[in-house]
Amino acid sequence: MTDRRTVILARISQALGHAAAADAPAVLQRVNDHARGPQPQWAEAPRERFLAKLAKVAGTHAELASEAEIVGAVADYLAAQTLPQRLCVAPHPLLADVVWPQGWQVAHRRAQGDDRIGLAVAFCGIAETGSLMLLSGPDSPTSLNFLPDDFICLLPEDRIVPRMEDAWALLRAERGSLPRATNIITGPSRTADVEQTIQLGAHGPRRLHVLLKGGRHA
Amino acid sequence: MKPTSAAFSDNARRALHDATLQQALAKAGVGFVEKRRAALSDLPEFAALREAGREIKDHTLANLDHYLLRFEQQVQASGGEVHWVDTPAEACAAVLDICTRAGAKRVAKGKSMVGEEIAINDALEAAGLDVVETDLGEYIIQIAHEPPSHIIAPAVHKTRQQIADLFENLHHQPDLTRPLETVPQIVDEARQILRDTFLSADVGITGANFLIAETGSTVIVTNEGNGDLSATLPRVHIVLASIEKVVPTLEDASVLLRLLARSATGQEITSYTTFFTGPRRGEDVDGPEQFHVILVDNGRSRMLGGAYHEMLRCIRCGACLNHCPVYSAVGGHAYGWVYPGPMGAVLTPLMVGLDEGRPLPNASTLCGRCEEVCPMSIPLPQLLREHRRQEFERKLAPPRSRWALAVWAFSAQRPRLYRWASRLGSLLLNKSSRGRGRFRSLPFAEGWTAARDLPAPQGDTFMAQWQRRKPHD
């Protein structure tokens, strides 16, 4: 289809009156500047804003003082939802040292079709919309974010940034480039395709539970 | 799909008399409008974002070739492939070729309007592939063998009962008696059925709301999570995207995302906003092995720089449909092709030809609500008028209306004749109303008087009254 590429590009260039170039100065400048559009403003602190927006999209949360409280918080959630003690856990450094109770079935791998509960770690939180950003990689399989019925996500409090643009800046600073999948997740899965009635749990998780961890990010 | 836009009048009449459709439309309309209004009132920066969004699209379109090349370069750098295609047939061939080379049998499909435009499902099914739509709305219309009736809510024309009946007939064996009445039961039924599709599909096809030139990423926004499952679990991920979807940077996409969700569903952001960049990386434990982007032109490069250039700013939010009095009355199917409502009335004649799409630009009062709510400030009424102008110029309109327009134009260009004729007309109508001030019926105007009275002129034209009453100096 190389000829089609030439044909289409020629038509565009003719309409615009210039020759196509991936390194045109206007393009390079724009792509490297990362100029931001108008930034929505609000009064609350990022943490308060994040939690308020998370609640608005039917996400729940628990507050943890440290990593040591992860097991307790997950146990509480499973008990409250009357769920089995069977977890699929992301092979993430922040979860590596967690000692799960005897008798729990805990797998560290990508998710499979019959996994009920997934646990992963967010790259950061976005206060503006109460969103979590997750980056695919060996320590964060994307299937975990979407296949289980219940998605539990650890978010260190100091990883909440104000806006999406701040998340991009953080991503560029820490990772350099985008992973295969960058997921911005805002609440559980939902649909309004039947008579415009909002129903949670269409294809992705039915529930989203954030473990908001205080203290310093390890 | 074969367009039936030329039969708009018949389609619309049928739609108006379809009680079930009217019931579904009545439920939908108010909801969308109210949710958008509430979302906008919560964001004082919306007007500024709208300005910025327009600037982003105008800048990108003015440098479209540059940004497409940049995008292509970045996709390749991340291990993906870009396929440029001009026509729907070429697009389908490219997708089919990828499926064949991958030895695919089953395809999980996320919602894609470009996919509807090129009729990808028909092409893949004709080649023996099992294609399953995974967005709930798209799944419903796929099993009903219907096209979407709304660009973001494809099954908005279906009632709960109709959906339950469709599922009942398709899924249920005689010995299976799961209840199927409430919305949660219906959604859960689809969840169970489609789970197997995600897990067993060889290829996942999604659309793209944006393409990012900076990173070579494709973006989808969904609420259900079906697009992400389609793009994560199968071995191959194919993205269908039209060329005007490209924007320069992640920051530019962030501006447009704030406009898109609010204008479409009244959400601040959809549940899932995902940026896909290439196939699975070395250490990854999931994700597709191949990542393909099909860049579809299908008439868009010809719109560039021409009379319909501004239509290329469209981000497919559906706000113009939701606020259109015509769409709200007749629904999407009456428009007879893939894109309905005001944006469809502009695009359809450009994509299937003005001969076929001719009635659509005429099925509008040009009330201007669409332009008012468009987050990209597209002058939709002006573009509809441009189609009408073309229609007149190419002598496509029926002789009777062309003749009437010609007579009107002749007199409108001769003020004395025009004044004389309008005075005569208003005098005649005044006399024949016999002082009642209105007509209950009038020959040649039954279309109007069947449902309401026609006010009669008061016997004098504005110009005549002005002559009489203006202050003399």
Residues A178-206: pLDDT tens digits? 999 999 999 999 998 888 888 999 999 99
B312 with B303: CB under 8 angstroms?
A: yes
The pLDDT assigned to B443 comes to 79
What is the domain partition of chain A in residue ranges? 44-213
Give the mean model confidence (pLDDT) for residues B180-206.
92
Residue among A202, A200, B271, A98 at smallest CA distance from A119: A98
Residue B448 has pLDDT above 90, yes or no: no
B144 with B166: CB under 8 angstroms?
A: yes
The pLDDT assigned to B175 comes to 56
Do the Cβ atoms of B271 and A189 come within 8 Å?
Answer: yes
The pLDDT assigned to A218 comes to 45
Query: What is the C-alpha separation between A17 and A11, in angstroms, rounded?
Result: 10
**What's the CATH number for A44-213?**
3.40.50.10420
pLDDT tens readout for residues B242-277: 999 999 999 999 999 999 999 999 999 999 999 999
A132 with A210: CB under 8 angstroms?
A: yes
| Chain A stretch 146-165, residues whose beta carbon is closer than 8 A to a beta carbon of chain B | 146-147, 163-165
Reported as a pLDDT band with limits 50, 70 and 90, residue A176 is very high
B253-264 b/e with 16+ CB inside 10 Å = b? bbbbbbbbbbbb
Residue B177 has pLDDT above 70, yes or no: no
The number of helices, as runs of H, and strands, as runs of E, in chain A is 7, 12
Q: Find the angle CA(A17)-CA(A22)-CA(A25) to the nearest 5 degrees.
A: 75
Query: What is the C-alpha separation between A203 and B395, in angstroms, rounded?
Result: 51
Q: What is the mean pLDDT of chain B?
A: 93
Share above pLDDT 70 across residues of chain A, in percent, rounded to a whole number:
97
B113 with B207: CB under 8 angstroms?
A: yes
Give the mean model confidence (pLDDT) for residues B154-174.
86
| Chain B stretch 35-64, residues whose beta carbon is closer than 8 A to a beta carbon of chain A | 43, 45, 48-49, 52-53, 56, 59, 62-64
What is the domain partition of chain B in residue ranges? 1-37+318-397, 43-301, 406-469
Q: Which of B285, B293, B309 to mutate to test the interface with A (most CBs of A within 10 A)?
A: B285
Reported as a pLDDT band with limits 50, 70 and 90, residue B430 is confident
Give the mean model confidence (pLDDT) for residues A99-116.
95
Q: What are phi and psi of A122, to 5 degrees?
A: -80, 145
Of all residues in chain A, the one with the smallest CA distance to B299 is: A8
Do the Cβ atoms of B66 and A142 come within 8 Å?
Answer: no
| Chain A stretch 10-69, residues whose beta carbon is closer than 8 A to a beta carbon of chain B | 11-13, 15-16, 18, 20-24, 26-27, 30-31, 33-41, 53, 57
Q: Using H for helix, E for strand and C for coil, what is the string for B107-122?
A: EEECCCHHHHHHCHHH
Counted across chains A and B, CB pairs separated by less than 8 A come out at 273
The pLDDT assigned to B105 comes to 97
Give the range among A108-122, B181-195, B438-452 with minimum mean pLDDT. B438-452
Residue among B243, B237, B215, B198 at smallest CA distance from B84: B243
The third-level CATH classification (topology) of the domain covering B43-301 is Rossmann fold (3.40.50)
H/E element, B74: helix B64-77
B194 with B139: CB under 8 angstroms?
A: yes
Give the mean model confidence (pLDDT) for residues B96-125.
97
> Which amino acid is it at B361?
P
Give the mean model confidence (pLDDT) for residues A104-113.
95
Interface check B289 vs A, CB under 8 A? no
Query: What is the C-alpha separation between B452 and B343, in angstroms, rounded?
Result: 30
Reported as a pLDDT band with limits 50, 70 and 90, residue A146 is very high
Q: Which one of A4, A113, A182 has the shortest CB-CB distance to B274?
A: A182
Of all residues in chain A, the one with the smallest CA distance to B216 is: A178
Q: What are phi and psi of B68, to 5 degrees?
A: -65, -40
Q: What are phi and psi of B203, to 5 degrees?
A: -130, 140
Of all residues in chain A, the one with the smallest CA distance to B94 is: A1
DSSP states of A81-102:
TT--SEEEE---HHHHT--PPT
